[in-house]
Amino acid sequence: MAAEVVVSVVMQKLTNMLIQESTISDEMIDQAEGLRIRFREMQKYLRDAESKQESYEDVRKWMAEFLGIAYDLEDFVDIFVLERTRRRRSSFIGYIATLEGLKATLKLCSEMKEIEGKISDYMSKFSQINQRLTLPMDTGPILRKQNDLPEDLPSHLRPCLLYLGMFPKEVDIPVRRLFHLWLAEGFVKQSPGMSPEDLVEEYLAELVRREMILVFSFRSDGSAKTCRMPEKLRHVLSLKAEEIGLFYIHGKLASRASVSSVSDPQFAVRRVVEHADIKDYPGDSEFYVKNLRSYISFNTQKKDLQAIQIGKFVSKIIGKRGYALLRVLDLEGVYKPQLPEELGFLYHLRYLGLRWTFSDALPTSVGHLAYLETLDVKHTYIRTLPSTIWKMKLLRHLYLNDIRLDMSVHRYRTNPLTQLQTLWGLLVDKKTPVKDGLNRLVNLRKLGLTCHSISTEEIGQWILRLTGLRSLKLRCKNEIGEPSSLHLPSLANLQHLTHVYLLGRLPKLNEKFEFPPQLRVLTLSVSKLEDDPMPKLAQLKNLSVLRLLANSYTGKKMDCPEGGFGSLRVLRLWMLENLEEWEVAEGAMKNLQELEIRCCSSLKAAPDRVLKSSNFEKLNLINMPLAFVADCEAKKQEKITMTEETWEF
């Protein structure tokens, strides 16, 4: 049932077009609805054909011809949207613009009507093939072959699963990267009352539940960090995905040498996945370039030639037409790719991934990417973004690397970046206005920034306006980069905030300051709290991960009160140089599973109640005195896994 994936992806694009393009005519809406009905009717024919295509050449040809029609529809829709975008930026105004738009609408309606007629013809043609081969139309359950998708796998999950087949063998896939790719490719169906970001989390959870995706590593809060597809499943579905034209893998990594790739694609290439130098890719052939929707590279060799070739290839994608259909440009881990200034002509681009590329700059034309949803320049040498960034009205996720945003243009725009959900790696200094500037970004769910102490009060007031905020990372430093004082208001009203990281000196955790009620993960660093924070933190009923890092507490004794920390699973104590005694009262930390103590040279002993707890599983000691290590070894239960390490600094 892999062929249904193509139909599902194309239908989703058609639906998204009707939602996003607000001035679509009634005629086009009716025509699109007619197509959806036809494609739904076609599903039973596709399922029957897939069960027979390996045995009958006529059925195999019929399947390929039909998939070609589906891909034609995708091209018509994408080109229509692209042309509308180009007209909005052109010099056409008034009557001429209206006339051009009407012509394009009539053309797409005509093309959709023609495809609807072809679908009817192909249903009849398949029935004739069945009769000629004296084969009954199988309307009952289809027996699943080894190389097929499970019949009960929901249609919206099928493209997501097949997509994982493009990743190299034995490569850990960052969940963050996978989510953004699924979203950019248009695989996520819109659902009332749920954001796309929430939906992709549900998609992954369901595929993990079905054991079609394996979580390979976890974050400390228990959420998935990296994943893989089981190798047997990956081997089969990767070939199937290439066969139906979902992607084309260029070259092979050494670890993939045992897997035979589809060398000659039967459909115009839509997604090229680079496992070897792109210079060997047939970029002069329209069959391999003209219809590209995605270019994803896993070639992480540090070669200057590779960086140059990537820029040339992107220019070829844009080509003489002056535009391209590319939605995804993912170069994560590729060393310093040289992007052309024509990048702004990729009007369809949804995802630009440059993480870990160590690139120095972005083309100024990046601001012309009207549909861009994710821009990731984390772990690069990029220090400024073009002021045109504020033109990206659909931008949802912005990952930076301590970059200060140019607010001079933004301050005069009425609705800047209203869709922005993630703003991570922002630098706020004296030149960055918060009032009438950053505080107009009110829909953030994830915020990570570094600021100077002079700005913390304004930033605190801005944070209070972020009622949907879920994750906050706030570092406060002075002008020479040293941690300085944080001045934060009570965060008690931020009902959705679950992850907080604070670096900088905090005042006393007194009655006036409250943490968010749903807080699950808390990290404090260089807080220099003089009073024991444990009585206050013990009241956080949902806290599951607590990290007290370097100089977060400067006192000599910590007391965990009776019954406190009921949900705590992970505790990390790092470089609390003055800490000598740590007491845990009865019933406190009863669900703690993992404890790491690092460079707490004055600490005399770990609490017996922790080491002997029935739920405690793992103890990691780094650069701790030998006497402390020996005491833990003597007290711990036999089932506890204990590691002891010495690091050189």
Both 484 and 543 in one domain: the answer is: no
> Ranked by mean pLDDT, which of 71-85, 147-161, 184-198 comes out on top?
184-198
Asked if the model's pLDDT at residue 59 lies above 50, the reply is: yes
**Tell me, what's the pLDDT at 119?**
76
* Distant-in-sequence, close-in-space partners of 355: CB < 8 Å, separation ≥ 6: 177, 332, 333, 376, 377, 378, 379, 380, 399
**Mean confidence (pLDDT) of the chain:** 85
pLDDT of residue 412: 47
- Residue 490 inside a domain? The answer is yes
How many CA atoms lie less than 13 Å away from 545 in the CB half-sphere? 14
Give the per-residue pLDDT at 11: 79
User: Within this chain, do residues 541 and 605 fall inside the same structural domain, yes or no?
Assistant: yes
Exposed/middle/buried for residue 321 (C-beta within 10 Å: 0-12, 13-18, 19+): exposed
Same domain, 448 and 558: no
Cα 472 vs. chain centroid, distance in angstroms? 18
Once rounded to an integer, what is the mean pLDDT over residues 3-23?
A: 74
Q: Residues 12, 97: one domain?
A: yes
Mean pLDDT, range 279-295, rounded to an integer: 89
Mean pLDDT across 185-195: 87
> In the predicted model, is pLDDT for residue 469 greater than 80?
yes
Residue 382 — φ and ψ, nearest 5°? -70, 125
Q: Is residue 243 part of a domain?
A: no
* Beta bridge partners of residue 560, listed in sequence order: 584
CB-based contacts of 626: which residues, under 8 Å, 6+ apart? none
Q: Looking at the structure, do residues 515 and 567 belong to the same domain, yes or no? A: no
**Residue 591 tokens, joined:** 């669900």
Closest by CA position to 220, among listed 459, 543, 629: 543
- Examine residue 398 and state whether it is found in any structural domain, yes or no: no
CA 516 to chain centre: 25
Q: Which of 487, 519, 551 is the last residue of a domain?
A: 519
Residue 252 has pLDDT above 60, yes or no: no
pLDDT score at 256 = 39
- The answer to whether residues 479 and 587 belong to one domain is no
* Separation of CA 23 from chain center: 30
Mention every residue, 6+ apart, whose C-beta is less than 8 A from residue 467. Answer: 493, 494, 495, 496
For 265-281, the pLDDT digits (tens) are 888 999 999 987 788 88
Q: Percentage of the chain surpassing pLDDT 70? A: 87
Q: How far apart are CA 361 and CA 338, in angstroms?
A: 9
Q: State CA 375 to chain mean position distance.
A: 11
Question: Is residue 106 in some structural domain?
Answer: yes
pLDDT band per the 50, 70, 90 thresholds, residue 94: very low
pLDDT digits (tens, 9 = 90+) for 217-236: 999 888 999 999 998 888 88
- Is 501 within the bounds of a domain? yes
Claim to verify: residue 3 and residue 123 sit in the same structural domain? yes
Contact 444, 426 (CB under 8 A): no
514 and 529 both lie in a single domain: no
Q: What average pLDDT score do residues 297-316 get?
A: 81
183, part of any domain: no
Q: Which of 466, 498, 519 is the last residue of a domain?
A: 519
Across 455-468, average pLDDT: 91
pLDDT at position 284 over 90: no
Does 290 reside within a domain?
A: no
Residue numbers of the domain that contains 430: 404-519
pLDDT at 95: 43
> What would the pLDDT profile of 484-525 be if each residue is shown by its tens digit?
888 888 899 999 999 999 999 987 776 667 899 999 999 999
Under the banding of pLDDT at 50, 70 and 90, the label for residue 370 is confident
In a domain, 533, yes or no: yes
Same-domain pairing of 7 and 123: yes
Looking at 491, 519, 547, which one is the last position of a domain? Answer: 519
- The token duo for 561 is 């009160």
The mean pLDDT of 628-634, rounded to a whole number, is: 93
d(CA 178, CA 189): 16
What pLDDT is stored for residue 227 in this prediction? 95
Q: For residues 575 and 38, which has the higher predicted lDDT (pLDDT)? A: 575
Q: Render pLDDT for 372-396 as a digit per residue (tens, 0 to 9).
A: 999 999 999 998 888 888 888 899 9
**N- to C-terminal Cα distance for the chain?**
56
Q: Are 536 and 550 in a shared domain?
A: yes
- Of 305, 315, 320, 302, the closest CA to residue 341 belongs to 315
User: Both 498 and 607 in a single domain?
Assistant: no
- The pLDDT of residue 100 is 60
118 and 85 together in one domain? yes
Query: Based on the structure, what is the number of domains in the chain?
Result: 3
